[in-house]
Amino acid sequence: MNKFFSSATIMFMACMSVSAGQSIDVTVNNKSKAARQAAPVVIQLNKYGNVKSALVTSADHEIPCQLDDLNGDGIYDELCFITDVKGRSEQKFHIVMSDNGEPRKYEPQVYAEMMMTNKKITKSNKQDLYISSLTTDRGVNPYWMMHHHGPAFESKLVAYRIYFDHRQTVDIYGKYHQGLELKQTQFYPDMEQKAAGFGDDILWVGETLGMGTLRGWDGKAPTMISDVEHRTERIVARGPLRTIVEVVDNDWKPAKDDEPVDMTTRYTLYADHRDCAVDIKFNRPVNTYKFATGIINVKNSVEYSDQAGLRGCWGTDWPVSEKDSAGHKRETVGLGICIPKANIVSELAADKDNYPFVVNTPTDCLHYDIAFGSDNEDYGYHSAKEWFKFLKEWKNELNEPIEVMIN
């Protein structure tokens, strides 16, 4: 079963804030005729004091939820849960928040990890130097010191990783069967795990845009995120319902004549989703700047574009460089990116590396979404026709989010 990402629109109906320890009622309304599966519901907690635990119920049934501290100050900022909603219907939930205790425990439906390479351990799926965050100074490149080259995160459908270097490329890991795998394979399954049906790295990204990586734009081509004073990558949230991975670039000059800007990028992946939300925040408005993003031009791929921000491809290529192809097979993948039309400066023709866009924002933030599928999946898509149909349905869901009303 394939699920989509639908951003929850929070509509605060109460005139007064509810103090921690009290309860609120939440109505989730799906105005679309299409059913929503695993739709995320996100509640901002700044009105409710120092929330330390929460219980979400619907029709007297407990619903798994998650509390997240987004800025590292020790106070939870958001509560989230996911729900299925039939077309043109609504659901009601009751939430009790408390200023004591700790978050309730639920079975993990997502996973995230970040670690340094332990050179004393020779096996690539037995590494043990787990970390949550790393900051480097100008000119320092920890790419080869990081196991799987940066943070990795997954739902039961897909997995992603973010390179920790000047590329900051988004790379992907495909699966054969639904399930959480990264804790066992650490992105590099051994032969025994492959024989047992575990997934693997399925895309060679090199210096391309990979899966929706944001880069600078110099007027002719994308530019790397090289000129930065500090670079930080950290795991903000680890589950059980969503992972959030953050990349911070301080004093980045996207192009030669641009003034430096601080950029924070967050990648959010929800349970039962193959798509990932990309949210970018700058420390000031960047309306005069231009950026590049898009997806890699998989070799011999077929392209789809609606000329309004939705673009995808379906193709087959080696997941590693050809010199390292021993033990690998050619992989067939479907890639997709959906960018709000208002942020598109131009959709450029495909080149040998990418299906690129030039984008900008009149404000200090930018949002878009990425998604992928593997032909290996026993639950997914197996042709360009099927994949492009998914992309169209996905965009429809992104454009018709559920509404959340707090009473």
Secondary structure (DSSP) of 361-380: -SSSEEEEEEEEEETT-SSS
pLDDT band of 322, cuts 50, 70, 90: low
Residues ≥6 apart with Cβ < 8 Å to 399: none
Q: Which fold has domain 9-106?
A: Immunoglobulin-like (2.60.40)
Q: Which helix (H) or strand (E) holds 398?
A: helix 384-399
Task: Count other C-beta atoms under 10 Å from residue 270's C-beta.
Answer: 26
Whether residue 4 is predicted with pLDDT greater than 90 in this model: the reply is no
- Looking at residue 324, what is its pLDDT? 67
Mean pLDDT of all residues in 343-352: 98
Structure confidence by residue, pLDDT tens digits, 324-345: 666 789 999 999 999 999 999 9
Beta carbons of 53 and 62 less than 8 angstroms apart? no
- Looking at residue 15, what is its pLDDT? 32
- Looking at residue 7, what is its pLDDT? 43
Query: What is the number of helices (H) and of strands (E) in the chain?
Result: 3, 30
Q: How high is the mean pLDDT of the chain?
A: 94
Mean pLDDT of all residues in 346-370: 98
Q: Please determine whether the domains at 9-106 and 110-399 fall in the same fold group of CATH.
A: no
- Looking at residue 65, what is its pLDDT? 98
Give one word for 72, left, alpha or beta, with left for phi > 0 and alpha for psi -120 to 50: left
Name the residue among 33, 108, 46, 56 with its Cα closest to residue 270.
Answer: 108
- 403/384 Cα distance (integer angstroms): 32
Structure confidence by residue, pLDDT tens digits, 16-61: 344 447 999 999 999 999 999 999 999 999 999 999 999 999 999 9
Structure confidence by residue, pLDDT tens digits, 205-231: 999 999 999 999 999 999 999 999 999
- 37/39 Cα distance (integer angstroms): 5
Domain boundary assignment for the chain: 9-106, 110-399
What percentage of residues in the chain have a pLDDT greater than 70? Answer: 94
Which CATH number applies to 110-399: 2.70.98, 3.40.1000, 1.10.1760, 3.20.190?
Answer: 2.70.98
Mean pLDDT of all residues in 223-250: 98
